[in-house]
Chains A and B, each alone.
Chain A
Amino acid sequence: MTEIATRPSAPARPGALAGLRVVEMGFAAAGPLVGKYLANFGAEVIRLESRLAADVFRTTYPPFKDGVVDPDRAGMFAFYNDGKRSATLNLKHPKGVALARALIGQADVFVESFTPGTVARLGLGPETLRAEHPELIVLSSCNQGQTGPHAFHPGYGSQLSALAGFVQLLGEPDSTPVLLYGPYIDYVAVGYGAIAVLAALERRRRTGMGCTIDLSQYEAGLQFLTPSILEFAANGRIPGRAGNADQTAAPHGVYRCAGADRWIALSVWTDDEWCALADLMALDGPATAAGRRAVRPQLDAAIGAWTAGRDRDAVVALLRGAGVRAAPVLSISELFSDPQLAHRGMWPTVTHPAIGAMHVMAPPFRLSATPSLQERAGPTVGADNDHVFGELLGLSLDERRTLERDGVFE
């Protein structure tokens, strides 16, 4: 091979997951984003939803295009459900449940993220489904898992991120912790959820076995805190907030630059890097990392004084030129014009029937031979009913009209 290609070229072959069919029911992020990643690599992901119990990402979770609250103008839904199909089914109607069961019976994977017990009450629990289709892979993702004393306790990602211990680690020492902005832990659970499904597919390819997966978003999140837990378990110390201090690097911090809310981040890991930084900023300080860690506040003040009047991007360029690790603290809007993310195609542009031109998010890893393909935003409600109920389930137009009249597609 002349090279391991790193730039995806024009998609010459189908996606890595082409031919895979996924049926999904659920709401918000933690379940549905699993389907997003599978769809991005070529799986056919059919989202079953109902107008009677719509996803919060379609109803109450802003922003909406032009501020108009409408399920088809909901930004979060359109942005993070790209590439899926939508079919509507009223699961309070027995015929709706029967159709869902037929669709799942044709699928390789079923993803659900309701409160524990919900799908079982509908007759769509993993035991029932896999009794008929032993090769089916079922992922149930919920807040605290399908079992245990807190299984039915309501919760959401921002507060679960606090319970798990992420929030405790964020902020200045000896002051109130701060939030990780959003439902951070949900996106950890998304990653592990997709991994669980893909690993089960790999086993199925080898053995023909299906799999029932019980994913607790809490337990998934705790994986990311393993070192903190181990430090308490081994040394009896509870890790806490440390501002921007690091246990190894010094200096290691965020410093204000000229302009409103403009900052750089820099860190020094070796004595060579320290010499380069000290030369550039005319700093005085200890030659060893341990010495520098002992005088952190003074070093931070001196660096901050140097950066304060200077242009952020010019400082970053100088530091990088001198061999010091540094980066601008990018605002969210700047992510959309960042040359490195643009180079990687992080924000593909799509056209949404109600929202118009918008971006979606590419997976943060690129595959050289079967790159992700993102051509459609999240679907409008029921956009694919004809395909799903007509082509996949083979219902005639007359049958579908009758079902529609009976409220089965509500």
Chain B
Amino acid sequence: MPFGGAAGDWANSLLGGCRVLDLADLSGAVCGRILADLGADVVKIEPPGGESDRLQPPFVGDVATSERSIPWLAANVNKRGITCDLSSTDGRTLFARLASTARVVIESFPPGRLRELGLEEVLRDTIVVSITPYGQDGPLAHVPGSDLEVTAASGSLWLAGEEGRAPVRTAQPQSPYWSGMYGAMGALVALQSPVPQRVDVSAQAAMTTVHPPAPVWWDIANEDHGRTGPFLLGRSIVGSRFRNLWACADGFVSFAIQGGPIGRHTGRMLARWMGDRGAVPPAIAAVDWDRFDNTTLTQAEVDALEAAIAPFLRSLTKAEFFSEVVERKMLGYPVGDASDSLADPQLQARDFWRTLVPGEGLPPFPFPGGFALFDGERPAVRRPAPRAGQHNAEVYGGIGLDRRELARLEAAGTV
């Protein structure tokens, strides 16, 4: 069982035997989460009392406690948790002992903080993944930033929104996920090298990777793309744009007039579907789908076709639309939300959902399973996110601290 539930099974998992110390706050916690999913022994280290990001809303049951923050729980599943006061000498000594057992340390301090703490020497033989807004050096290295600012500085904010109106941000912050994912990729690349080294992740740079083909349009064609709202810049060679988001009876669907073999099939099936439900509008009936080429349509031609399609899509529910496009093998999907994901038959068939009991006294919830199947097996949700210091005795015991010593450090506020 490569991903089995007990700690002992880690030896056979993908990253079994790889200990990771995770000092990162929510801007970098996803990095350790990914490594933990893959079987690494990830130990989350917080200051005594827990880190402040434990109070990031929203909360399970809308009760604002340090054990109910939804973004925090999501990013810290599968980790063990300990506390350690790195501002104290004892805490740093303790951390050094732990670090000697780890192959990777993840941190999201402002650049230079590790050096100030005197921890760089301690981490000489360790891969250090640093996740910061702009990276470890350069003109903006010491400029603070949150998800909004790094998204703005990456071009991805510029591209999202209605033309002429203010750019908009994805309501659930995305840069922590992109930064964490690239941090995990960097750590795993570094693990393949014989030399320990720094992995320097910039959230700004991470968000710069999310919006192809825009950089290529500038680099190759000198065109600076902007916001297009619900329209997709398709393959048009005459500059026409195509609506990709449409109102339906109970929300929105993603659909477009397209060319190519599958796009032509989609158009042909749409016409047949319209016929099945009543009448085919003249603008649609007039199209010869076998020869249809969307790349040369003028905007007026596109607009006429779209005007004929809009009332049809408005008459359908998301569920009706979804089952028919699947049945007819057409391109298109409903604009899903969290409730749709949980009901999706494809995800159920692939046994995607796992059960998470987020903490004592809380009910179980469905939770996304691992991101891929490895030899047919999906990485499990082995344990919920830890309480602050939940595994102090276990982890510190593992490096030879006895109960008396631990009690002394607890009394001194070190752990």
Contacts and interface: CB of A to CB of B under 8 A. Distances in A.
A-B pairs with lowest CB-CB distance, top 8? A343-B138, A75-B220, A232-B338, A198-B188, A16-B193, A162-B254, A364-B205, A265-B152
Nearest to B373: A214
Given A198-B192, A256-B166, 15 more contacts: A4-B120, A79-B216, A148-B345, A154-B330, A159-B331, A162-B336, A170-B170, A178-B245, A206-B16, A212-B375, A225-B341, A234-B358, A325-B144, A341-B204, A363-B185
B166 A198 contact: no
B81 to A, nearest CB: 18
Nearest to A148: B349
B226 A153 contact: no
B260 to A, nearest CB: 7
Contacts of B376: 212, 214
A367 B154 contact: no
Bin the interface of chain B by size. Answer: 35 or more
Interface in A354-402: 355, 358-359, 361-370
Contacts of A211: 14, 374-375
A195 B375 contact: no
A67 B210 CA distance: 24
Nearest to A203: B14
Contact of B216 (A63, A220, A364): A63
A5 interface: yes
B202 to A, nearest CB: 6
Contact of A340 (B139, B157, B226, B326): B139
A369 to B, nearest CB: 4
B211 A181 contact: yes
A220 B352 CA distance: 11
A163 B213 contact: no
Interface string B333-347: 111111111100111
Interface stretch (A93-101, A277-285, A327-335): A327-335
13 contacts: A6-B200, A62-B213, A63-B217, A159-B254, A183-B212, A214-B373, A325-B144, A325-B148, A333-B218, A340-B204, A358-B219, A365-B199, A370-B195
Interface residues of A, number: 159
B161 interface: yes
A332 B218 contact: yes
Contacts of B110: none
A310 interface: no
A326 interface: yes
A215 B162 CA distance: 33
Contact of A363 (B182, B195, B358): B182
A380 B167 CA distance: 37
Given A165-B337, A176-B229, A358-B220, A235 B61 contact: yes
A364 B144 contact: no
Contact of B220 (A63, A145, A179): A63
Nearest to A77: B216
B286 interface: no
A267 interface: yes
B137 A7 contact: yes
Interface string A173-211: 000111111111001100111111011111101110001
A164 B260 contact: no
